Structures are given as structure tokens and as C-alpha cells.
Amino acid sequence: MFSISDFLNLPANSRKQLLKQLQHAHKGQESSQAHNQKPDISCPFCQSKKFSHNGHGPTGKSRYRCKKCHKTFSETTGTPIHAIKLPGKFIHFFQVMSDGYQTLHKMAEITGVTVSTAFQWRHKILSAMNASVKKYDGITDFNPGLVAFSRKGLKNHKQNIKESSLSANVLAVADYSDNSELTLLSVGSLRPVDFPAALDEKLKGNAIVIAPWNRPVYEFSKTKNLGFTLFKPELPFNRFDVRQADKLHKELDTYIRKSMRGVSTKYLQAYSMWIIRIAGIKKSKQDDWTRILQNQSAWGRYVNREELFMSFMKSRADAEYIRASGREWKSAGKYVVN
């Protein structure tokens, strides 16, 4: 299949020509579609699957109207590409991001944009990265680990001693069939309710979960009726380990401390999604990267990231929430995010 890197290897003229042809083909394809043929997308505002055709936008793109919230949208509304003014550079930027970690300055230099644009683009793309695991299969390692709590980037704030000793609890789960996840659970104490609700569905069925004994993990498995095999690593003759999960913790730690020189807890989940894709047990495939570009909940999460962090801090952290001064998005309230 023709990939983004093939595209970028073409001479500039051929790229332009190809883009024109693609746009042309895309338009033709859309206008020839019957009106009852709808793409497999959801309303980017309320996630409803019920919508109807609502004419075409100025560029010929099909528009749709949601039957639940009555807002209109196209196939790219809410995706990271939404409202991008330099699509060619953005695709290049996306490709660089899928190749591995680079500092913002380096990414700006490689793709020819300002550092502030690079910051925005990186966070738009990070907001589009979902957990890709549907179901764990077979032996599944399960182990919460610690990452230093950080307010990096927050201006005029000095971390006090109590805060400096706080850690964020990050759960690593990995089976031996290439399914793996890193999930930010809480800051400070860890309670059974801090484990995400979606997790028990992924673990029920074929997964045989192995975890080091730890009270919150034990209580979580009991309340959800999940038959975990818990072991005590310090006991003699212990035969168990969670080396797949520990590999993830090691990668996370190396990237955060060495490459990134610390990550604000606000962005820890987003960066974990990136790290797992570029340095996890198995690198993400092309279709996973394509889905990121098509993710219609990206924009809503991007403009609401301060609100999402606030609700996380208020319900899951032993430290107070401090609002960062930054741009307030008028459109933020239009999106239902979780």
C-alpha cells in the first residue's frame, strides 16, 4: 500500500499533482454516493450514530446533521486535521511523530513550523490517540507503577515538599499477543475505584491475569469478580513475574526522565499513549496511525484538556488542582468528552 512516507519521498511537483488528483477523486466519489449511503462515523459532538445527510460544504465535502444534538459536521470535523491551515506540513509532522520521539524544537526544525505550532500540533495528535486494546488474551501481566507527580510548564508555581514526594500511579497491562496499555490511575493514594471501568470488560473472558500482590489490586479484582492470580515476589520459590508489564514501565521511565526531562502529570496519559506506540512491546501498525488521523473525538479532547485534567485532579489526586492560564476555547462546551 502507498504510505505517507512514500508520499513524502516524492519530488515536490509530483506531490502537488498527486494531492490534486486525490482531492479530485475524493470529490467525484462523494458526489456519486447515494444520499442514503453514510460513512461509518459518529457525531463528533455527542457521539450519536444517528445522523442524516445535510448537503455539501464549500469544498464539496458531504455534511451531516446529528439527529440527537442537531449539530452539523463533516467526516473531518473533530479529527486532528480539523482547522489545520498547512495540511502538507501537518501530515509530515504526523509522520515524524509516528517514527519516534523528538523534542519540540527538533520537530519544528524538521517540518518548518514555529515551536508554538509544533506544540499545538503535537497536542492535537496526542488528543487523538486512544487506547487500542479491545480484549486481553491468555497470560496477562498487570502491574501498577509510579511516575513522579509534576506540574511542569505551570508558571509561577513552586512545588512544595509534600508535592515533590507525590507519585502518579500508572497501570501497565500487557498480554503475550501484542495487547498492551499504560493507564494513569491516580496521584498519591490508589483505591479500587481508580481503576478504569472499561478495564474489567477487557479482562473478562480469555485473560489469565497475573499481578504482584498489592491491596488496591486485590480489592479491585474482588469487587469486579475477576480471578486474578496474585503473587508475592519476595517469597522464596515464587514462580511468577510480570516482565511484559515491567518492560512498559521501563520504557515509560526512560522516555519521561531521559528524553523528555519530565512530563507534566496533566499530559502523562497522552504521552503514555505515544510512548506505547513508538516503544511498546510491538510498534503500532499503519492502520492504527490512520485511525488516529480519523479520530473525531480528538478536537473535543484537545480544547477540553484543561477541564479533563481538572476533573481528574478533583476525583483522583491527593494534590490540589491549579488552573493553568491559557487559551480558553469558545467551542469547548460544544463537545461531550470523557
Q: Write out the DSSP string of 150-173.
A: --TT-TT----HHHHT-EEEEEEE
Q: How far is the CB of 258 from Zn ion (least distance, A)?
A: 43
**Residue type at 40 in one-letter notation:** D
What are 68's three cell numbers?
Answer: 440527537
Using CB under 5 A, which of the segments 43-51, 72-80, 207-215, 305-313 binds Zn ion? 43-51
CA distance 105 to 116: 9
Using CB under 5 A, which of the segments 41-49, 124-132, 225-233, 296-304 binds Zn ion? 41-49
What are 60's three cell numbers?
Answer: 464539496
Q: Which is nearer to Zn ion, 48 or 159 (CB)?
A: 48
Q: How far is the CB of 286 from Zn ion (least distance, A)?
A: 30
Q: How far is the CB of 70 from Zn ion (least distance, A)?
A: 7
Which neighbouring-strand residues pair with 175?
140
Q: Which is nearer to Zn ion, 51 or 121 (CB)?
A: 51
- The residue among 187, 185, 175, 122 whose CA lies nearest residue 148 is 187
Q: Which is nearer to Zn ion, 71 or 89 (CB)?
A: 71
Residues within window 119-158 making contact with Zn ion, judged by CB under 5 A: none
CA distance 277 to 90: 19
Using CB under 5 A, which of the segments 45-53, 84-92, 228-236, 295-303 binds Zn ion? 45-53
3-state DSSP percent of the chain in helix, strand and coil, to 5: 45, 15, 40
46: contact with Zn ion by CB under 5 A: yes
Give 151: exposed, middle or buried? Use CB within 10 Å, 0-12, 13-18, 19+.
middle
Q: Which is nearer to Zn ion, 71 or 291 (CB)?
A: 71
Q: Which is nearer to Zn ion, 66 or 207 (CB)?
A: 66
Q: How far is the CB of 47 from Zn ion (least distance, A)?
A: 7
Side-by-side strand order, sheet with 62-66? 51-56, 62-66, 72-73
214: contact with Zn ion by CB under 5 A: no
252: contact with Zn ion by CB under 5 A: no
48: contact with Zn ion by CB under 5 A: yes
256: contact with Zn ion by CB under 5 A: no
Using CB under 5 A, which of the segments 37-45, 101-109, 171-179, 298-306 binds Zn ion? 37-45
Q: How big is the site for Zn ion, counted in residues (CB under 5 A)?
A: 7
43: contact with Zn ion by CB under 5 A: yes
Q: Which is nearer to Zn ion, 186 or 296 (CB)?
A: 296
CA distance 212 to 71: 48
Q: Which is nearer to Zn ion, 230 or 336 (CB)?
A: 336
What are 314's three cell numbers?
Answer: 478533583
- The residue among 24, 31, 34 whose CA lies nearest residue 62 is 31
Which neighbouring-strand residues pair with 171?
144, 183
154 and 129 Cβ atoms separated by less than 8 Å: no
Q: Which is nearer to Zn ion, 111 or 296 (CB)?
A: 296
188 and 318 Cβ atoms separated by less than 8 Å: yes
Convert residues 56-95 into a mask of x (bound to Zn ion by CB under 5 A) and - (unbound): ----------x-xx--------------------------
What are the residues binding Zn ion (CB under 5 A)? 43, 45-46, 48, 66, 68-69
